[in-house]
Every structure is written in C-alpha cells, then in structure tokens.
Structure 1
C-alpha cells in the first residue's frame, strides 16, 4: 500500500512538472564542460529531474545490494555457529 501511495505521489509530481513546464517555453543558455547550447527551460529541467531520479535509484540499488550481501554473510555465520553449538551440546549431553 505504501508503494502505491509513493508511486502515486511521484506520478502527480511528474504530471505537475510537465504541466508547469509546458507553459514555460523560455530558452536558456546552458554552458557545460566542452561547449554551450541553448535549450528550452522545461526540457532542461525535465532532463535534470530524470537524471537525478536515475542516479538516486542507482545509489539506492547499490546500497541495497551491499546490505543484502552483508545480510547473507551474517546469516551464513549464524548458521555455522548454530551448527557448532548444536555439536557441542550433543557432545556434552552424551557424557
């Protein structure tokens, strides 16, 4: 349910940005590393919004992957220690 609400909010923000951007046809000069160009302000804002969204998801995915790998390693360690503990318990209870 939280995902649906979050997705709905994201879509609403995107639609509002498109609506406001379509009303703004102003051209702006954009200087980047090797050249410069004249772009529509709405297109430039949309581009930076999309790039920021993709970069944010990429960072999130990398952090999530790192946590999942760490979780897997810790679960392996817990299973190994549980087996050792069971072995020690069964060895001492038989005496």
Structure 2
C-alpha cells in the first residue's frame, strides 16, 4: 500500500513537472564566469532541479554512512563490554 501511494505521488509530481515545463519555453541567457549560453527556461529548471536532487542525495548518503559506521562501532563496543562480564 505504501509503495502504491509513493508511486501515485511520483506520477503526480511528474505530471506537474511536464505541465510547468511545457508552459516555460522562453529562452534565457545564462552568464558563466567565462562563457554565455542560451537555454529554454524549462531545461534550465530541469537542470537546477536535478543538481539539487543529486546534492541532496550526496548529503544524505554521507550522513547515512557516518551513522552506519557509528552504529557498527557501538555494536562492537557493546560486544566487547558484554564478553568482559
């Protein structure tokens, strides 16, 4: 049931993204430090959103990995303390 609900929310978000993307077709000039390019506004929004998702996933993964190592360390410490008694 939870998977179905997640799937439906994902479909709704994708439909909203397609609608927003189809309504924003203007060209936008992007100025980099050494270059300049023109992109459609919907493409720029997709790129920025994707970068945000990737950065968020990397941040989540690094904190998850740190906590996993901490749990493993605490379990080893608990095993050592329980075998000493």
Interval containing the TM-score (normalised by the shorter chain): 0.7 to 0.9
Q: Deviations over 1:16-52 (max 9, x none)?
A: 1122111221001111222111110000001111111
Q: Structure 2 stretches of 5 or more lacking a match?
A: none
CA RMSD of aligned residues (A): 1.8
After superposing on structure 2, the runs of 4+ consecutive aligned residues of structure 1 that deviate more than 4 Å are: 1-4
Which residue of 2 is the match for residue 78 of structure 1?
A: 78
**Superposition TM-score, scaled by structure 1 size:** 0.77
Q: Does 1:5 align with 2:29?
A: no
Q: How high is the TM-score relative to the length of structure 2?
A: 0.85
What is residue 59 of structure 1 aligned with on the other side? 59
1:24 corresponds to: 24
2:60 & 2:79 partners in 1: Cα distance?
Answer: 28
Q: How many positions carry a matched residue from both structures? A: 85
Larger Rg: 1
- Segments of 5+ residues of structure 1 without an aligned counterpart are 86-95
